[in-house]
């Protein structure tokens, strides 16, 4: 077997997402690096209520209907304003929690298993003060983009038509 040169010096490759108590999903810079998500601009959201799985499908265009715009952070990684999504499906976000992000290549979905959070941490331990300031700025940007994308998509989306919107997640067979 030949040696392979490591060229990702200085990059993190942890595959974590955080669901913040502000109603945001934040994808770590490590997950962006690991999965090559650096060109993503929007995301479609899916939910499997029986297995409590969130599915994310990232798009490199702003033209995809029924998507949420990504808010990129200076340090890499990005956030999605998903408060309405979390509320609609009764997903608890009263406490900030971290989860592993898995890529289901068969469905091309990135999956968050709500049944398997990482050990809960106090918010002070989880974020340093600059991250908290970044989060406040990001929350404002995300809230604004969520309002815009929701008003654009309200006419053509039917909240009761879960079967059509989530068929890809229902076909999900495992990590």
pLDDT at residue 131 is higher than 80: no
Average pLDDT over residues 158-167: 44
Average pLDDT over residues 2-15: 72
User: Rounded distance, CA 125 to CA 131, Å?
Assistant: 11
Confidence of residue 4 (pLDDT cuts 50, 70, 90): confident
State the pTM of this model: 0.65
The answer to whether residue 7 is domain-embedded is: no
The answer to whether residue 76 is domain-embedded is: yes
Q: What is the pLDDT of residues 50-100, one digit of tens each?
A: 999 999 999 999 999 999 999 999 888 999 999 999 999 999 999 999 999
The answer to whether residue 68 is domain-embedded is: yes
Q: For the chain, what is the domain count?
A: 1
Which residue's entry shows tokens 């990001």?
A: 138
pLDDT at 76: 85
Neighbour-count burial of 77, counting CB atoms closer than 10 A to its CB (0-12 exposed, 13-18 middle, 19+ buried) = buried
User: Rounded distance, CA 18 to CA 100, Å?
Assistant: 9
The answer to whether residue 156 is domain-embedded is: no
User: Rounded distance, CA 36 to CA 23, Å?
Assistant: 25
User: Rounded distance, CA 58 to CA 67, Å?
Assistant: 9
Sign of CA dihedral 40, 26, 165, 107: positive
User: Rounded distance, CA 59 to CA 42, Å?
Assistant: 5
The answer to whether residue 64 is domain-embedded is: yes
pLDDT at 66: 95
Write out the residue range of the structural domain in which residue 121 sits. Answer: 16-150
Confidence of residue 9 (pLDDT cuts 50, 70, 90): low
């Amino acid at each position: 077997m030949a040696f392979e040169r490591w060229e990702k010096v200085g990059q993190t490759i942890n595959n974590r997402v955080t669901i913040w108590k502000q109603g945001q999903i934040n994808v770590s810079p490590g997950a962006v690096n690991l999965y090559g998500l650096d060109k993503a601009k929007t995301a479609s959201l899916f939910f499997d209520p029986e297995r409590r799985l969130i599915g994310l499908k990232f798009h490199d265009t702003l033209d995809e209907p029924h998507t949420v715009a990504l808010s990129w952070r200076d340090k890499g990684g990005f956030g999605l304003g998903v408060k309405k999504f979390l509320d609609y499906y009764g997903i608890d976000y009263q406490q900030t929690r971290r989860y592993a992000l898995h890529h289901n290549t068969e469905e091309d979905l990135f999956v968050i298993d709500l049944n398997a959070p990482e050990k809960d941490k106090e918010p002070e331990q989880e974020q340093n003060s600059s991250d908290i300031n970044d989060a406040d700025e990001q929350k404002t940007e995300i809230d604004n983009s969520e309002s815009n994308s929701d008003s654009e998509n309200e006419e053509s989306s039917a909240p009761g038509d879960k079967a059509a919107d989530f068929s890809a997640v229902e076909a999900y067979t495992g990590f």
